[in-house]
Chain A
Amino acid sequence: MTKRLAEVILLLGFIGIGMTLGLAFLKAPSVSINAFESPDAQRIFYWHVPAAWAAFIAFGFLFVGSALWFFKRSDLGWRMHVAGAQAGLATGLMTVWSGMVWGSAEWGVPWDWTDVRLNTFGLLTFLAMFLVLGRQAQPDGVETRDTFSTFGLFGFVLVPVTYVATRLWQIRHPGPVIGGGESGSLNGEMALILLLGAVSFTVFITGHVLMSMRITSLEQRLERIQEAKDEV
């Protein structure tokens, strides 16, 4: 069971995400036609916001992992860095893609290059892509780990910038839906589906990170065995 823990958590996450999608399309109340250009597209919100939430958790893993490797030379830290980058790429792409679809319907353009929130989040996703692709192209070693964990540490600066962007420089992206004052209030049913989405994505990201860390650990074990065989 312990060995299968990651798979079980991941499966639970997928089920939760599926339920969120089902509820978003079938149960969630329609929004006012006066408040939105494209009220139907608003349902993407139940995917977009939880995916962004999960991406921030993944980037948190990436940062903690990068710091643990950089300052403590911890193997566990490096596994967290790898897992955080992969999970950040997956959830970051989910957020960006769903946001672009929603933006096309609501604003008439998929992207606004002058919006700080859109760009810093997009950049975080590109950072995750850089870390994932870059690491795969390099042999494992301290040079690779030092370089990519440095980028992981620098990149994390973007997380608080992204978080406060809509509060400080609201250009096109809307402000926070929770904790953003009256303008961000949700009705009960909407909040419940959003909560289910957030929990499901959190479970999903936890399973994703655990599984990724296990795979990295197995890769490292395989490498040690190969090195031992090389020396024979």
Chain B
Amino acid sequence: MSEALLSLNGVSVRRGSSLVLNDVSLDVASGQLVLLRDKNGAGKSTIIEVAVGLLPLEKGEVLHSGDVLIDASGRSKRPKSAFGLTLQSDGCVGSLRVEEHLLNALDLAGGRVDIDPWLERYNLAHRKHDLIAHLSGGQRRKVAMLAGLLPGFVGQAPRILLLDEPAAGLDAASRALLVEDLHKLRNRGNAILLASHHTDFTACATHLLTENSMETNEAFEESKEITDDMKSSSQKNNPAFRTGFLLNQRTLSTVASNGIAGFLTLGILLALVDVSAADSSLMQASGLFLSAAFAAGLVGDNMVSMLHEHRALDWWKAHRQGIPNSYIHGLFLGAGLTALTQLGFDANVSWPLVAIGGLLTISTMLMVRWMDLATSRLARPRAAFTRILTPILILPFALLVQWITDSGLL
């Protein structure tokens, strides 16, 4: 047997208060398709999520191509070769277009294939430019499934493909196409781990994993004749940055959340503070001019809550190539708010202060975003009250104001 592309060695995982996986070991080599077909609650999705390093391990280790991806001591490493992933909850944001999500999946894999034939094949061509939010549940599932399959056609080297219930909500015709595509992917040498209840996949699985024991599938039907002639090109892109930028342009989320907080603060300051206060004390002036930018940053990065939709955050986290962010928009917003505040108080615009305002918003956003991401593993991440910790940022803000005053920047 060739070397395993994916290995789980003695993996135990706890979720909530129960041990969901206990000492599970499995190897998936190039050209193998392992089907997980246990009953509900047996831990199929947990195995998929463990295999991409989304869950911490109680015991054991997960290896990709012989290198440790994650182990029980918490050691975690980005895999050398990107994988294809379909999560049970789709993993795509409604505000992205179908085409954009699929290109993200391909760019994360480091290359591109022509997606049009695939959209045609699964009857999604007419939806190529639609927002994912406008699709039906079944169509969205097809997009999520394609995002897991297409990386398997990028480049010549075999990849790991992890597909959790890819056929959920798919009609019989689409399932038949998927079985055919799985044959193609396996014949290309990809190592596939598939969790599904559908019996359609039994024929294309080389191995079955039931109750922690792996066995050769007697019903496997070899199909060497099903091949493809897909051509791929290699691409170096930063899909996380591009997606963050796109989502911000499309939803104006930074303006709508951070911007509103900043503008409200500016409005309150202008309404309550005497304009002459800006002249009376340098410390008071620099504090005033930066307040709106600071308030905008305290709202955090709205991208994190947007990515909670259909577990898109986990999909991005699993790939370990960055998570979409709103830094660029935060930078311009903070700089703009600082300039506006100075103009509002009839002061000359200090450009170094404008730059500091932009950096203040972005660094404050970064800290709040870190707090949000640190609690994203909780069962109810939105009920984690991370904003209670934001006063940690007031002291650095006060020290910054002090420094500006002492340095004579104004």
**Residues in A lying within 8 Å of B, measured CB to CB:** 73, 113-114, 116, 119-120, 122-123, 126-127, 129-130, 133-134, 137-144, 146-147, 150-151, 223, 227
The answer to whether residues A127 and B394 also contact, given A223-B17, A227-B17 and a CB cut-off of 8 A, is no
> Does the CB pair B391–A138 fall under 8 Å?
no
Surface stretch bound by A, among B186-194, B254-262, B377-385: B377-385
> Does the CB pair B14–A126 fall under 8 Å?
no
Main secondary structure of the interface of A (DSSP, over half): helix
- Extra inter-chain contacts (9) besides given A113-B394, A119-B398, A139-B379, CB under 8 Å: A114-B399, A129-B385, A138-B383, A139-B380, A141-B14, A142-B15, A142-B16, A143-B15, A147-B374
B369 to chain A, nearest CB (A): 16
Q: From B16, B17, B397, name the one whose CB has the most chain A CB atoms within 10 angstroms.
A: B17
Task: Give the nearest-CB partner of A73 in chain B.
Answer: B58
B389 interfacial by beta-carbon distance below 8 Å: yes
Q: For residue A142, which residues in chain B have a CB less than 8 angstroms away from its CB?
A: 14-17, 56
Q: For residue A123, which residues in chain B have a CB less than 8 angstroms away from its CB?
A: 389, 391-392, 395
CA distance A147 to B385 in the complex (A): 13
Q: For residue A129, which residues in chain B have a CB less than 8 angstroms away from its CB?
A: 385, 388
> Does the CB pair A113–B374 fall under 8 Å?
no
Task: Give the nearest-CB partner of A111 in chain B.
Answer: B394
**Could you list 28 A-B pairs, sorted by A, with CB under 8 Å?**
A73-B58, A113-B397, A114-B395, A114-B398, A119-B395, A123-B389, A123-B391, A123-B395, A126-B388, A130-B386, A130-B388, A134-B383, A137-B383, A137-B384, A139-B380, A140-B16, A141-B14, A142-B14, A142-B15, A143-B16, A143-B377, A143-B378, A144-B378, A146-B377, A147-B375, A147-B378, A150-B374, A223-B17
Q: Of B14, B58, B380, B394, which one neighbours A137 at CB under 8 angstroms?
A: B380
B402 interfacial by beta-carbon distance below 8 Å: yes
Task: Give the nearest-CB partner of A123 in chain B.
Answer: B392
> Does the CB pair B15–A113 fall under 8 Å?
no
CA distance A122 to B393 in the complex (A): 12
> Does the CB pair B385–A113 fall under 8 Å?
no
Task: Give the nearest-CB partner of A130 in chain B.
Answer: B388
A166 to chain B, nearest CB (A): 15
CA distance A140 to B17 in the complex (A): 7
Q: Of A113, A137, A143, A223, which one neighbours B398 at CB under 8 angstroms?
A: A113
> Does the CB pair B391–A122 fall under 8 Å?
yes
Q: Of B56, B383, B394, which one neighbours A119 at CB under 8 angstroms?
A: B394
Task: Give the nearest-CB partner of B17 in chain A.
Answer: A141
> Does the CB pair B391–A126 fall under 8 Å?
yes
> Does the CB pair A137–B385 fall under 8 Å?
yes
> Does the CB pair A116–B378 fall under 8 Å?
no
Q: For residue A151, which residues in chain B have a CB less than 8 angstroms away from its CB?
A: 374
> Does the CB pair A133–B388 fall under 8 Å?
yes
> Does the CB pair A143–B379 fall under 8 Å?
yes
Q: For residue A119, which residues in chain B have a CB less than 8 angstroms away from its CB?
A: 391, 394-395, 398
B200 to chain A, nearest CB (A): 33
Q: For residue B397, which residues in chain A have a CB less than 8 angstroms away from its CB?
A: 113
> Does the CB pair A146–B56 fall under 8 Å?
yes
Task: Give the nearest-CB partner of B399 in chain A.
Answer: A114
A170 to chain B, nearest CB (A): 15
Q: For residue A143, which residues in chain B have a CB less than 8 angstroms away from its CB?
A: 15-16, 377-379
Within 8 A of A (CB), among B354-409: 374-375, 377-380, 383-386, 388-389, 391-392, 394-395, 397-399, 402
Q: For residue B392, which residues in chain A have a CB less than 8 angstroms away from its CB?
A: 123, 126
CA distance A132 to B4 in the complex (A): 45
CA distance A122 to B14 in the complex (A): 35
A94 to chain B, nearest CB (A): 18
B14 to chain A, nearest CB (A): 5
A196 to chain B, nearest CB (A): 33
Q: From A126, A141, A142, name the one whose CB has the most chain B CB atoms within 10 angstroms.
A: A142
> Does the CB pair B378–A138 fall under 8 Å?
yes
CA distance A141 to B58 in the complex (A): 13
Q: For residue B374, which residues in chain A have a CB less than 8 angstroms away from its CB?
A: 147, 150-151
CA distance A139 to B385 in the complex (A): 15
Q: For residue A141, which residues in chain B have a CB less than 8 angstroms away from its CB?
A: 14-17, 379
Q: Of B58, B384, B395, which one neighbours A116 at CB under 8 angstroms?
A: B395
CA distance A129 to B392 in the complex (A): 13
CA distance A114 to B190 in the complex (A): 58
Top 4 A-B pairs, shortest CB-CB distance: A141-B16, A137-B383, A119-B395, A113-B398
A192 to chain B, nearest CB (A): 36
Task: Give the nearest-CB partner of B13 in chain A.
Answer: A142
CA distance A114 to B241 in the complex (A): 36
Task: Give the nearest-CB partner of B16 in chain A.
Answer: A141
Task: Give the nearest-CB partner of A220 in chain B.
Answer: B17
CA distance A114 to B283 in the complex (A): 12
